[in-house]
């Protein structure tokens, strides 16, 4: 273990921490060290599973799943087990029997960084662990205000910014899940129509684990009008993950995804972005970069990136989408 730790930290970092200078609340691990944490475990997913789970433009492969997500699923399973033990100890202390509530995981990161793929992979892998067969995934897209309301509030060009969400409804949803409600419903969002679908809902029934994925899930609480501090969504999380990458990498991934969407989602006549389906390669790149610079990059820099330090685990991607560095909050 000492040899491995030598690879994790540089000598300078160790000296600074000993002096109290530049001390970090995170343990930094490289991919090689991280992958060894699940070296003897059986890979639960196959090539077909990976193809089904990966997002458009995300070159996820079976090796990435084995090296990165298998150890992560093991770590999360340990946290779920520890939460169960704490619940049992607490009920014994209180002298009463209370039902264990779902374990909630938050997954945050920029548009196009791949957080949706990561959330889907974790859902599938956690379902294979004993004790957590019922794992549900909810995205915060369903809590965006409908397009008509965004237009009324003049927020259409700020879609994805914190003010474009029905924050109270989102907090109420996760609060009810964490409170042990038998059934909780959320609005259904269509990425084709770019809007909430009236009359359609996502129904969550007492999961063992709930994964909440979205841009702003790690945002701090907002001060209330009376001066008191409100609740943050992350107050209900048992574990949180931030998916990180250089902004220049994410921009290229966004542009690449935009190009590919011309022949997939944009090509559908009912698509909100159908007008982009016939753009040339040059026009598509210019349009994508304009949207990125006006909306997605400012949101990333102002609202999403500042929440990175609030996560318990930061996964850092390289230009090829592979995760090469992990920062795990010290316990």
According to DSSP, residue 264 is labeled T
Contact between 155 and 145 under an 8 Å Cβ cutoff? The reply is: yes
Write the burial class of residue 91 (CB in 10 Å: 0-12 exposed, 13-18 middle, 19+ buried). middle
**Rounded Cα gap, residues 22 and 15, in angstroms:** 10
According to DSSP, residue 224 is labeled P
- Token duo for residue 217: 């899930």
Q: Residue ranges of the domains in the chain? A: 2-76+104-222+229-329
CATH class of 2-76+104-222+229-329: alpha beta
**Rounded Cα gap, residues 177 and 233, in angstroms:** 12
Over its length of 331 residues, how does the chain's per-residue pLDDT go in tens digits? Answer: 333 333 333 333 433 444 455 678 999 999 999 999 987 888 888 889 998 998 877 889 999 999 999 999 999 999 999 999 999 999 999 998 888 899 999 999 999 999 999 999 999 999 998 888 999 999 999 999 999 999 999 999 999 999 999 999 999 999 999 999 999 999 999 999 999 999 999 999 999 999 999 999 999 998 777 777 789 999 999 999 999 999 999 999 999 999 999 999 999 999 999 999 999 999 999 999 999 999 999 999 999 999 999 999 999 999 999 999 999 999 8
DSSP 124-170: HHHHTSTT---EEEEEGGGGBPPHHHHHHTT-GGGBTBGGGB-HHHH
Strands (E), the chain: 26-30, 103-109, 135-139, 184-190, 195-204, 209-213, 239-244, 313-317, 323-329
DSSP 191-223: TTTTEEEEEEEEEE---SEEEEE-TTTTPPPPB
Residue found under tokens 């540089």 = 10
**Rounded Cα gap, residues 211 and 214, in angstroms:** 10
């Amino acid at each position: 273990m000492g040899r491995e730790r030598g690879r994790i930290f540089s000598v300078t970092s160790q000296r600074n921490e000993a002096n109290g200078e530049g001390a970090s609340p995170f343990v930094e691990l490289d991919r090689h060290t991280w992958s060894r944490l699940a070296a003897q475990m059986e890979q639960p997913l196959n090539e077909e599973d990976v193809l089904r789970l990966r997002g458009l433009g995300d070159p996820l492969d079976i090796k990435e799943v084995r090296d990165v997500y298998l150890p992560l699923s093991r770590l999360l399973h340990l946290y779920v087990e520890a939460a169960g033990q704490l619940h049992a100890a607490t009920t014994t202390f209180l002298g009463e029997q209370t039902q264990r509530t779902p374990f909630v995981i938050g997954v945050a990161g920029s548009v196009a960084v791949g957080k949706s793929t990561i959330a889907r992979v974790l859902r599938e892998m956690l379902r294979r662990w004993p004790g957590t067969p019922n794992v549900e995934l909810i995205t915060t897209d369903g809590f965006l205000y409908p397009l008509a309301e965004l237009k009324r509030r003049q927020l259409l060009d700020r879609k994805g910014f914190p003010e474009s969400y029905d924050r109270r409804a989102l907090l109420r949803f996760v609060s009810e899940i964490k409170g042990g409600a038998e059934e909780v419903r959320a609005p259904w969002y269509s990425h084709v129509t770019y809007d909430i679908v009236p009359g359609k809902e996502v129904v969550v029934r007492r999961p063992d684990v709930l994964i909440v994925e979205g841009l702003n899930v790690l945002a701090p609480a907002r001060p209330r009008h009376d001066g008191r501090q409100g609740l943050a969504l992350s107050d209900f999380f048992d574990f949180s993950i931030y998916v990180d990458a250089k902004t220049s990498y994410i921009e290229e991934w966004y542009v690449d995804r935009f190009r590919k969407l011309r022949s997939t989602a944009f090509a559908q006549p009912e698509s909100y972005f159908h007008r982009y389906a016939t753009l040339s390669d040059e026009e598509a790149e210019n349009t994508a970069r304009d949207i990125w610079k006006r909306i997605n990059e400012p949101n990333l820099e102002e609202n999403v990136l500042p929440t990175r330090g609030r996560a318990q685990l930061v996964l850092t991607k390289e230009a090829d989408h592979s995760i090469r560095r992990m920062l795990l909050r010290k316990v």
